């Protein structure tokens, strides 16, 4: 029986499904691009796809941490816009100002995340409402104080958005480095384990002796810092800060969609960064192919929406398929024990 159990095919994990879908999307993308007379695997196109993963990747990694903790962060596009403006205004085209600008932008982003985390963890306001309110505050500040683009990034800083190492953009390498650090945080540290526990069930975590507030606060701080890094990367590409660059990209909903597409449970407690990176890559490939096909923006949104709905439906169906097996075992156990109990009573 043990040998037969070992020979039984293992069930695909959510992450496995994501990367299987990514392979299918790559194959379809190559076919469609070839039909349009373009080479999907050219160095320029691969670099463009990887570049497309960088900004959404930063924000989606942070969003994964927040969702794992059972919360949400809708303020990320405004944090990215604010970081691009603070960085650009502080740099003012001077290379010597780069360190101060980076520290200022990321420090303000961390402070915003700290406020979000404290409100969610200690005032028990749901992350959806708390970060929606923070987003409105930031939108009001940006709209009042910045009427258009501001600041200027020096050439040395713009190289971050333009430099490639082989076919891989430097921004993608930095994003992947952040992903590795977050994976180590989740897998190798106590607070990373507590993050899963709190997201899975806050009451059970508390009864197990876990302090439930610090993981939630940390998740929001890291999410905002990563959104700030995305804002600095946007500054490096555009060379100026913009008050609307984050909202134009729709990074709040797109990051949540990438996380869900990557297999992370929206209620928290289950998921991983590798799945999120797969979800981000799927969106980047789809956007690239739809750009080649010159689909209009509304139709692109329709395609993205269909993919998200199908992915969530597949995960929901998969979880539903798992549940009856456990219940059947419980029911079978009850049926087995019932005659014995009756016999004992007799």
- Mean pLDDT by runs of 10 across the 346 residues of the chain is 53 81 89 85 85 90 95 94 94 92 96 96 93 95 90 90 84 94 95 93 90 95 96 92 88 89 87 92 90 82 82 70 51 50 36
* CA nearest neighbour of 260 among 313, 297, 301, 198: 313
pTM listed for this prediction: 0.86
For the beta carbon of residue 20, count every other beta carbon within 10 angstroms. 12
pLDDT at 327: 46
User: Do 56 and 233 form a contact (C-beta atoms < 8 A)?
Assistant: no
DSSP annotation of 150 reads B
Counting other chains too, the contacts that 185-188 makes at CB distance below 8 Å and 24 or more residues apart are: 186/65, 186/68, 186/272, 186/273
pLDDT at 166: 79
pLDDT at 341: 40
pLDDT at 321: 59
Alpha-helical (H) ranges within 123-269 are 127-145, 155-162, 170-188, 190-200, 202-207, 213-238, 245-248, 251-261
pLDDT at 340: 42
Q: Give CA 252 to chain center in angstroms.
A: 9
DSSP annotation of 11 reads P
The region, left, alpha or beta by phi > 0 then psi within -120 to 50, assigned to residue 331 is alpha
For the beta carbon of residue 167, count every other beta carbon within 10 angstroms. 15
pLDDT at 294: 81
pLDDT at 41: 85
d(CA 253, CA 60) in angstroms, rounded, equals: 10
């Amino acid at each position: 029986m043990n040998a037969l159990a070992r020979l039984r095919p293992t069930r695909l994990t959510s992450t496995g499904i994501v990367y299987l879908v990514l392979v299918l999307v790559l194959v379809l993308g190559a076919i469609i691009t070839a039909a349009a007379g373009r080479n999907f695997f050219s160095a320029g196109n691969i670099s463009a796809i990887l570049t497309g993963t960088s900004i959404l990747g930063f924000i989606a990694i942070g969003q994964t941490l927040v969702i794992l903790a059972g919360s949400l962060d809708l303020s990320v596009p405004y944090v990215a816009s604010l970081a691009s403006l603070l960085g650009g205004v502080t740099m003012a085209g001077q290379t010597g100002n780069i360190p101060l600008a980076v520290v200022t932008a990321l420090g303000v982003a961390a402070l915003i995340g700290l406020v979000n985390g404290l409100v969610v963890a200690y005032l028990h306001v749901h992350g959806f409402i708390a970060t929606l309110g923070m987003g409105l505050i930031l939108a009001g500040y940006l709209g009042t104080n910045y009427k258009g683009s501001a600041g200027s990034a020096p050439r040395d800083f713009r190289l971050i958005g333009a430099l490639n190492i082989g076919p891989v953009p430097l921004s993608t390498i930095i994003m992947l480095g952040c992903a590795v650090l977050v994976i180590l945080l989740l897998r190798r540290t106590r607070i990373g384990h507590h993050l899963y526990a709190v997201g899975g069930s806050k009451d059970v975590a508390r009864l197990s002796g876990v302090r439930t507030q610090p993981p939630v606060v940390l998740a929001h701080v890291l999410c905002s810092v990563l959104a700030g890094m995305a804002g600095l990367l946007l500054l490096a590409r555009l060379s100026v800060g913009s008050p609307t660059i984050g909202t134009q990209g729709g990074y709040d909903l797109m990051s949540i969609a990438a996380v869900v597409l990557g297999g992370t449970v929206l209620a928290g407690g289950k998921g991983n960064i590798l799945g999120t990176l797969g979800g981000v890559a799927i969106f980047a490939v789809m956007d690239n192919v739809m750009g080649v096909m010159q689909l209009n923006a509304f139709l692109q949104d329709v395609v993205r929406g269909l993919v998200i709905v199908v992915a969530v439906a597949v995960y929901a169906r998969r979880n539903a398929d798992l549940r009856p097996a456990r219940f059947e075992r419980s029911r079978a156990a009850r049926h087995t024990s019932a005659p014995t109990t009756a016999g004992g009573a007799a």
